[in-house]
Each structure stands twice: as structure tokens, then as C-alpha cells.
Amino acid sequence: MKTALVIWSGISWLAIASYLAKSGYKVKLYEKNNQFWWRASLLKERWYTFDMGPSWYLMPEVFEEFFAHFWKKTIDYYESEKLNPAYRVFFWKNDFVDVSSNVKENIKLFESLEVWAWEKLVEYIEIAQQEYNLAIGTLIKKNYDSITDLISLKGLKFIAKIKNLWSYESYVKKYFSSPKLQKILLYTAVFLWGSPKNTPALYSLINHCDFNDGVYFPKGWINAITRAFVSLAEELWVEMFTNSEVKKIIIESGKTKWILLESWEVLWDVVVSSGDYHYADQVLIDPEYRQFTPKKWDSMTLSPSWFLLYLWINKKIPQLQHHTLFFDPDWDNHFDSIYTEKNLCETPSYYVSCVSKTDPSVAPVWHEAVFIFVPTAPWLSLSEWEKKEYADHIISRISEAIWEDISSNVVLQKIYTGDNFTHDYFSFKWNALGLAHTLGQTLTLRPKNKHPKVSWLYFTGHYTTPWTGMPMVLLSSKLVLDKILSN
């Protein structure tokens, strides 16, 4: 029996561990922190519960497809419900709209904000749906090792479409002149991939997910997904260890040989690594096997980092929905701060998760568990005092927007910033979500999922193909499985 070692237990590693176990491998998995998939771990304190990281459950069909590989369904592990409204968007003081999980409602909403916008929305999301079906249904489910691999594809037609080479922002502006509608359509780029000015329009296919499919919430929080993946891996006899940091991948004669843990070494046939690809490449692997120079790494565009604020609130806030987005009128300043000036933005756009709206068990009665995500520049060093001051600033921005001062209702707060990402995951330059999605960092142009010089060393996760976010890194593990099985 071949042995496989999966280091770092993110969702993509938990997935590849189960895939390999089902394919007959004996699999072990090591996680450095004290909970599996630390990025989606739980923060529980004083009768409040928070998901530490991901909060949007988009593309549920990708999760369904994963479990179907094992003759299972997601419902065997967790239930999910459609949120309606899907999310609320604040444009400024008490000026907000609700985006529905029902497409007809959204058509009405668009028409109320711009004349004939309903017609344009219908066309826009129809194109998004067609491209989604092509891209997610076929294109990104294959491995492309070079540009020439892409050339033989009908997918090339898709990538080369002039529209897809535009920036996401210019594409949306072609359709809608209302800044409010533009912001609604661009929100995923803002929070996950990078500036909409640099993100190619091909990613507009994501608008199909929330506009046509709606936004879901797994009961038991996002952490229910972690528990589901861990249970499946256990059923397949994957051996899993927490508090086990991988210190070195030892390569001999171009093949992975040993994995060095705290005080012992293990010998394996196949090693699947990643998470922070930069850390694996520059620290875990010896210099002669590194794929990129430090200069090359420095030239890559990273996704933003995050200023995260968990708030224990001792009252209900009716102005918030389960998901609420706050877009500042000074939209450009937000991106200039992150990507050009690299400072903390005074007028940021940010996202607030309030799970207690849907699941009252996460906070005491009449209280709210509020989790705020503010994208920031990567590599932004802040003193404890600066962090506290910025947290106060964000709370006052929300208070202004919702027309209610909540500062005196915060009974406890926890701040988590870029330096925590590096401490917890060795994130390169403190980024939160891997490589940004610029045109030059798309599909085959992302770091490879199989090491070009070392046999049996693979990478999954949000630096490699296809892209960032839970469903996509889940697909990244299927791509690696295909490579391992065809080796």
C-alpha cells in the first residue's frame, strides 16, 4: 500500500486526504494548530460563538459533488438553508438595499435604482450563468500545465473573449451607470480577489452564484463543514494529528523522502503540501529545489490582508442582516489605501457577519455575535494601540452608517490582523487569501500544483489553480488527485 502524507489541514487538505484514502492510500495529516482547518476554526467565549474565518457558503453544488465521490451527500453531515435576503448593502447613512436570493426580486431592485437596469441585469446574469457553466462545469476541472494545453480547448475561446480581458470594473460599468449597482456586482472582488480594476472580467461569472442560486448558510456554522470533512476523513481511516507542525520537507535525488516534524521524521511516498505556497517553497524545501526566487515572490500580487474584529454585543441590532456589506462613498480611496498607499484606510468598505440573526444559539438572548472584516494592505505592521484605535474607528463608522451608536454595547472584543495570519499559517506578507486574481495570475499562470523538479510533491490551496475561496480550493484538491492517479 502506498503512503501519502498530507500536511496542513485546510479544507483542500482534508479533501485530498479523503480522496487519497479512498484511492487506496494510507494517509496521515498534520495540523500545526489545535483545531483542524484552523482558518475555519471556532472562537467560543462567554456564551458567544464565532466562525473565525469563512462565512459565505457559495457554490453548494461543489461541496455536493465532493461528497458524491464518496457516495455521500452534504445532508449526511450538515443541513444548509437559503438566506433571504441574501445580504444587505449599506451605501452610507441609513441608505441600504437588500439583495434577495430570488432573481425576480433583484430585477425589481435593479429597476428601482436605474431605469432599464432590469433588462441589463437579465442579460448580465445570463452571460454569467453561461460562463459559470463552462468554466466551473468543465474548464477549471482540468489540469493545464502550459499555455499550449489551453490552446486546444474550447475554453480558450472563453478566456480570449474580449470581454473577459477587460477589468471586472469596466465590464460592470458598461452595463450599469448607477454606482450602487456597480458596487453590488463587484463585492466579491473587493473582499476576496483584489481590486476590481485589476481583476479580469472573467470572474464576473461569480455573480451567477448569488443572483441565480442564492446564498446558503450551513446549520452549525461554517465550522459544520470542517466537522463534516473531518468525519469523512475519519471514516476513511485517515490518521489526523493536531498540534503537529511540519518543519521541513526533505528531498533526496529529486524525490520527497522525509517530513520533519517537531522531534521526529516520517517517510512517505507522496506529499501534498501548500496553504502558504511561499512558505513551503522558501522555508520547508531546500534551496536547490525552490521554484521561485525571493525577487519573483516579491513581484507577485497578493490578495488583501484583513483587519478582523469579533464583537460581543449586548443588544440586538435590527439594521444588520446575517450578511451586511458596507460600501463607503469614497470607493476608490479604499483600493488606493490597500494597493497603492499601503496604509490603513480611514474610509474603508467592509463586511459584517451577524450569524445570531439566523442562529440565536451563537449569542445570549437579545445579544448579537458580530464579526467585521475590513480588507487592508498586506504587510501592514500595526502597534497594539493602532489596532485598538482602528477598531474604535470601525465601530464608529458602523454606528454612523446604521444611525445608532453601538460603541457602549460592546462587552468584549477580539482583534485579529495580518501578523496573526503569519503566526497561525505562515502567510506570506500577512495576506489572508493567497494570490490575487490578476490576469497574469489566472489558471495556468498560477504556481503549479505539481512541483516541476521534485517527484511526488504536490500543492493544493489558494495559491495554485483554480482560485481562492472554499469551493475553489476544494476543486484544487480534485485536480491534484487526478495528477497523482495519472502519475
Ligand X SMILES: Cc1cc2nc3c(=O)[nH]c(=O)nc-3n(C[C@H](O)[C@H](O)[C@H](O)COP(=O)(O)OP(=O)(O)OC[C@H]3O[C@@H](n4cnc5c(N)ncnc54)[C@H](O)[C@@H]3O)c2cc1C
CB 314 within 8 A of CB 409: yes
* Smallest distance, ligand X to C-beta of residue 262, A: 10
Nearer to ligand X, 202 or 222 (CB): 222
* Smallest distance, ligand X to C-beta of residue 33, A: 4
Nearer to ligand X, 121 or 224 (CB): 224
User: What grid cell was written down for 105?
Assistant: 426580486
* Smallest distance, ligand X to C-beta of residue 105, A: 22
Burial (CB count within 10 angstroms: exposed 0-12, middle 13-18, buried 19+), residue 216: buried
* Smallest distance, ligand X to C-beta of residue 431, A: 9
* Smallest distance, ligand X to C-beta of residue 184, A: 17
CA dist 204 and 352 (Å) reads: 22
Q: What are the CA-CA distances from residue 268 to residues 123, 289, 395, 452 (Å)?
A: 52, 18, 50, 19
- The 8-class DSSP code of residue 378 comes to T
Amino acid at 4: A
Q: Is 457 helix (H, G, I), strand (E, B) or coil?
A: strand
Which residues form the interface with ligand X (CB under 6 A)? 7-13, 30-33, 37-39, 53-56, 245-246, 275, 306, 308, 373, 424-426, 432-433, 461-462, 468-470, 473
User: What grid cell was written down for 180?
Assistant: 450602487
Q: What's the full length of the chain, in residues? A: 487
Nearer to ligand X, 268 or 426 (CB): 426
Share of the chain residues as helix, strand and coil, in percent rounded to the nearest 5: 45, 20, 35
CA dist 463 and 474 (Å) reads: 13
* Smallest distance, ligand X to C-beta of residue 117, A: 27
Nearer to ligand X, 246 or 370 (CB): 246
CB 87 within 8 A of CB 96: no
CA dist 381 and 420 (Å) reads: 11
Q: Count Cβ atoms below 10 Å from residue 30 Cβ, excluding itself.
A: 22
* Smallest distance, ligand X to C-beta of residue 125, A: 20
Nearer to ligand X, 11 or 107 (CB): 11
Residue at shortest CB range from ligand X: 10
Nearer to ligand X, 394 or 433 (CB): 433
Torsion over CA of 30, 32, 38 and 41, rounded to 10 degrees? 100
Distance of CA 102 to the CA centre of its chain: 24
Amino acid at 403: W
Nearer to ligand X, 34 or 381 (CB): 34
Nearer to ligand X, 127 or 308 (CB): 308
* Smallest distance, ligand X to C-beta of residue 192, A: 7
